[in-house]
Structure 1
Amino acid sequence: ASCSASGDPHYNTFDHRVHNFMGNCTYTLSKVCNVSERLPYFDVSTTNEHRGANTKVSYVKSVQVEVYGNQISLLKNKKVNVNGSRMNLPVFIEKKITIQSSGGYVLLETDFGLWVRYDGNHYAEVSVPSNYGGLLCGLCGNYNGDPNDDNIKPNGDIASDSTDLGQSWLVPENNTICSSGTEEQCDPVLESEAKSNIACGMITDPTGRIFKDCHTKVPPENFFENCVYDICFTDGQATSLCYGLQAYAESCINAGICIEWRNATLCPMPCPGGSIYKSCGTRCPSTCLNISAADSCSSLPVEGCFCKEGYVLSGDKCVPESSCGCMGESWFTSYPCTERCTCKANNTIVCTSWECGVREECSIQDGVLGCHSNGQATCQVAGDPHYFTFDGMIYTFVGTCTYTLVEVVNTNSVIPITILGKNEDRGLRGGTYLKEVYIDVYGVRITLQKSQGILLNNERVYTPVENRLRGVSIRNIGRFIVVETDFGVIVKYDGNHHLEITLPQSYFSKIHGMCGNFNDNREDDLSLPNGTLVSVSQFGNSWKVEEDSDEGCLSDLREDDVPPCTAENKPVIESQCNVLKSDKFKACHNLVKPEDFIQICIYDMCQYDGMKSTLCNIVQVYVDTCRNHGITIKWRNSTFCPLPCPPHSHYTDCVSTCPSTCNDIFASSLCEKTEECTEGCECDNNYVLSNGQCVPLSNCGCRDDDNNYYSAGETWITPHCTKRCQCQKNGVIKCKSYSCDSKETCVINNGKHKCNPTGFGKCRIMGDPHYMTFDGLVHHFQGKYTYILAQTIPDLPDTLTQFSIEGMNYPLRGRRYITYLKEVLVNVYNHTVRFRQKKELVLDGVRVRPPAHPHEGIHIYQSTTRIYLKTDFGLYLSFDGNQNADIKLANTYRNRVEGLCGDFDGRYRNDFRKPDGVWVKDVNVFGESWKVPLKRTTSRLRRDVNSKDESEEEPDPGLFQGCNENQLGQENRTSRCQILTDSNGPFIKCHSTVSPDFYFTSCLFDMCVEGDEDATLCRSLEEYVLACQQQGVSMESWRQQTVCGISCPANSNYNSCMSACPASCNDLTSPSECESPCVEGCECLPGYVLSGFDCVPYKQCGCTYLNKYYEIGEIFTTDDCSQRCQCTESSTVSCSNIVCGSDEICGISNYSHGCYRSGPCMPNPCKNDGVCSETTNSTSLRFYCECSELYTGPNCEAEKIGNKTI
């Protein structure tokens, strides 16, 4: 018979009576009360605990078993202690007791038929053989077949209720304050939801497909009531439903009925690498010590994660059979920790002498014998960058190379670890910040990147990283990525400016680097390894790591640490930084002096001329330092440094150090560090972390056999580019064979494997409009609608990414038959990007300011002259917001695209193909065939063999449509365009690199059509210069030799060779990461930076939120209409939660997200940029579309041709 404790907790006795008791101490579950010499004695107790802030309920924290004189503890997270010492599974004690991993449980079995199991979370179960009937006592009852007497207290009295019974079986412990819980009323709405057939009602539903087959064997009513109870008193947490369903499913399995009850959306059980989920697996899994155990198992099945074929259990992890015995684990053999052994390859054990450090002692902690520190020290890097050493010294160093922060110099009795920091300029010289952190440990390099990217040996990984690297975990906690080792080193980086390195006392006097030497003497922290004291800049420069530094990085050449303030800004900045002296921070003043932080705040704010975000950064560091000293300060508000939290999360000043993730949905409730926390965003109820994003359980991702985590829907290429895999919504990884073709090489780029193109093709559209296709054909199609410029072919190999680019043409002012490119529309990665006139950007229907990053593979950014789109598969596009566009495409797309830019097959004569594959000679027939929406017929195969006529006949490019041959000839003789081809002109040095012919012809045509205007001439010259500069040809002085002077907007100057990726408020480091050659343009003056297309002082920089940029004061609604936010002066947004009204819908109107009243114009019925307005007749509201001059009809759906409509 079995008895269980589950949920919060419910005790289901051997005789099937249920007690609900929420005490939070240790209680006797079952023990032998009528001791018999013929039967072995045992005593099983459970320790309960409250989890989080909810004290209404408690859960099983551990199970203690006393048997055969042994004290055995089954602990949370499936850890086991035997007689006080931590043990790896499986454990065998005198051939009488076996403890092993069994599905989702740790199972203890004895030779006399007792078994006890615990899932390391909430479910504990005891099973005893029938010969113990009537001999037992405890919360599990006496096992005599009568449920009516299962409420007897130790003194023999009958308990008045479950609480009285539970308290009577308390196991006394020292210094423990116990509460018994209280009976409360459930909210009627929540209770109704809990009882529904999509919640606890699944258990009792007689028509339900899940549990009905078990009803006759295990009555479901008690389990149903327990489930409803748990949901009520945990405020509807999804995990409580899972606990309730699991308890019933386990009872069904014990009754011999297997139930497939979990799925991708209902309580999924994520399994670590090398294992798969089974609802009914073997209770005796194969292990390294018994590889064939499963074959001889006769016990009932159990649910959980089970090793895949070829894998067996080593401890609680599945490893290939060939890896058995080599666990990489180290341990001390005996007190006083003078010998440390490590399990090596080939089942060998290597032991070395060891000695505990000066500040350590040999002791048992959490069941583990070892050298345990009695304290720790922290080094910090923050702001521009300021270094706080382990010994408490503070200094500022602004070199932009890679430097050693911590290096172990005395490896005697400590694990070697090296930590490096790479710095970068952010917008101006001297404005230097931490860009990347490198951690070298256990033979592996971990890279923590800006914006919280993570690389492991240069390969991209996603949080949580657990069981991938023995002894190291990497997680998201609040604002930080946290790397934690099993020897006490903790590294926290916020992906922006703040790094914390915590070392245990075992490293005392055993390290050096920019964090100092950790010897409790701050006076010698600026010493070189030879002991010489030097200046800050000499000290910092001496720690440069050549092999990890970028070419051209800069040393710190300052002669002093004086803040770069001006007489005007210093008083204002000092008063702002003095906020740290205010009463808000008073509680911490005695522990952490604010004066040092005020000085570095002044330094950073002066550097960026009062930019508020620098103030927030340093106040944040001060608050974090206070928290490390045990002081929590509530300091943020809606106007002072608000910390916005993305949808499905909320701000808290105490985020759990073990947040629940897709990898472990119960992590926060199983946290062993309940006293530690940090500020940041925490997922809402029923959401968990997946790669730093809060997602519902149904959107959790996948784990591969190497324990790499991938988000749902994510695709990736495996090492050597041999497979392309996708994580499907059901948590299953699907892979297809993959390879790079002859035009590609397999490389690793920013942590991801990819096939890199070896070359590119270009299509240019300029002027009125003139096209140069990928294959070099020049044509002059003058269509006035929207056309496909380039798109992937229908039968595209699935190794390539689909995209389409449309060009919207429009008639030139007063010229009905001459058009120009007015807009460009890009569809890629399920996003729609629209480049409009005056460099306006519309993303998925919403007007936004660049830069924008809507998808991992899409980056949209700006210069003063153009707006750019860059993808990760080799598509680049730029538009000048006027009439000129460039498309650059990887040669992997050769012969795999179509449209007005041709088929990119290397032959220009066949570029005039229609969508049905037919070649035509006439440019207008060709062009109109690509009008959107496409009318594709299948009259012949797209790619059949070219006919002889077709391949030799020149297509008609349509040059004389708006300007006849005589007019063009006349223009040619007198035109100022000839400066482009002049052998003595300013462009001669580029002729051998970029032929001027296309630009000259375009210039002639446009000057002929539009008149001899300076602006028309200069537009063509500028396009040629841009093409030259993109090929690396410098073009400094051409404007002085032409009429093309340039007038720059406010706060900028003309530069003939400025970065093609200028710094912006959203990305101050853009120039240092730019791969493109310099271009000409208007460059922001020193002290100014791009905000959209305007140069503003740093302190006027706006906010970036959910990958979009907003100006100060701007108010906006998030895409899902869950938040209304405003960009504050501190460059962060302040958000409040909103819900659309009952008569509103979440949608887009006038290019903005929001809650809009549903009506005739919502959603917008007008096509082709028609403007919708509401009209009223006697009976109803109607809409009216005001159409542009090219369209007509009720919805602007019909094209006008002359005065006729088609």
Structure 2
Amino acid sequence: MPSTFYIMVHTRFGLQVQVQLTPVMQVYITAVPNHKGKTTGLCGNFNNVQADDFKAESGMIEGTAAGFANTWKYKATCPDVSSSFENPCSLSVENEKYAGHWCSLLSDPNGVFRPCHSTVSPDTYIRTCMYDSCNCEKSEDCMCAAISSYVYACAARGVHLSGWRDTMCGKYSSNCPRTMVYSYNMTTCGRTCRCRTEPDYTCQVSFTPVDGCSCAEGTFMNEGVECVPPTSCPCYFKGSVVPNRQIIKKEGAICEPMVFFNCSSASPGAKGSECQKSCQTLDINCISTECVSGCVCPSGLVSDGNGGCIEEDLCPCVHNGITYQPGEKIQDYCNTCTCKDRKWDCTDNVCHGTCAIYGDGHYITFDGKRFTFNGGCEYTLTQDYCSNNNGTFRVITENIPCGTTGTTCSKAIKLFLGNNELILTDGNYQVIQRDNSVEVPYQIHVMGNYLVIEASNGLILMWDKKTSMFIKLSPTFKGQVCGLCGNYDGNENNDFTTRSQAVVVDAVEFGNSWKVSPTCPDVGILKDPCTFNPYR
């Protein structure tokens, strides 16, 4: 326990868990590289491919966070959570102003968080801070927790921020228990009676520095979380502490169609209702800390999640919160998946990558990274003229301000395809013959509201004749493209690769690097339209 704000769990197999207690509980899990591609659960599979982090045990990638989380429930009796797309800040102007004031300090170019801006972008943390502050009953606690998560992310990257509690969230640092002191940079668990009394390898564990209250120099923390002089430290035997536990027996339960399991008459080490398997938890090992009496399914059956029991072979598959019976099929991009033995058996077709550009400068790269950049120049969206000059296509968008609010709209889209230039503007298109480059055959047709261009080299461009566009590329272009749509290598972490091959964290710096004309002015700091128009 490095401070009163955190609890540390360190394992011998390369997993470290830091549990933040103040102001609200947050958990940070660190795994060594040996676990890459071997993990499952809500934290993803640790394979550096963010696009499949929502993969459930059934093998399908869920479309929503709620649907994904429901597949990893530990207890079958716990109800499913439902998706909510409502912005909590829209429910209270007062809460929105409060959250906007404090959360925006994360991106203040002259503020205390500035040293970390070039290392960790604050954009995602600002959005989380706004959502949590507006959604929580105790706004300040959740706001300060979100701020501290950014501070932790910076510390994990080697940027240590101090002094930020002088202007915000100061009540937690000024109310340390008696004899304790506050520090921004706690790096050891050694100031405890346990570490002083007998050898304990956990006292030497290294971890990401954290803040909080800890014992003053020359004092040590006892089991009562009090700082005492060395002479008042208790003795320890083999380092074990056995906490007191109270077992509540649920006698006389009505379990039809289940049966009642009584722990008081069971053999030592038996597992009770806490380890009742369901269709969703069959593949999860149960770690029981105590036997709990209660209702369980008869031998050979598992819980169906609705209070009944079912044979394991009849368990359905679940995707995005919808239940599918064995044999039913669903479509997942370009693959067909069949429900079989509770899991999805999918074809292994390699699908096209998709980059989406929509609205006021909103982007989703081929690898799934979302960002906003609304510059007023011509920009390269994607091209295969990256490491050599033997490319076949280039897509350029020309943006102009529209309206009076600074919003940008796409004035024209230029698709350079071999020796042809296709210009899409004002709902129409025109074709211009260029030099004697290699010819790339293509077709143009209309599908609903979209104008679709399909090229023989594996490029598909879909345009709604207004402000939305989708660019699809065949897998042969993986890792061979560059531009605002990213490099299509499966790793969104390096999508902000500039024209000069530098990987940056700031969307504005990344976007400016892909200007077609160097004389066009750079974009400055992006303005949040909701901040400037709070009543819209």
Q: TM-score range by the shorter chain?
A: 0.3 to 0.5
Greater C-alpha Rg: 1
**Which is richer in strand?**
1
* Structure with more relative contact order (C-alpha pairs < 8 Å, separation 6 or more): 2
TM-score (norm 2): 0.40
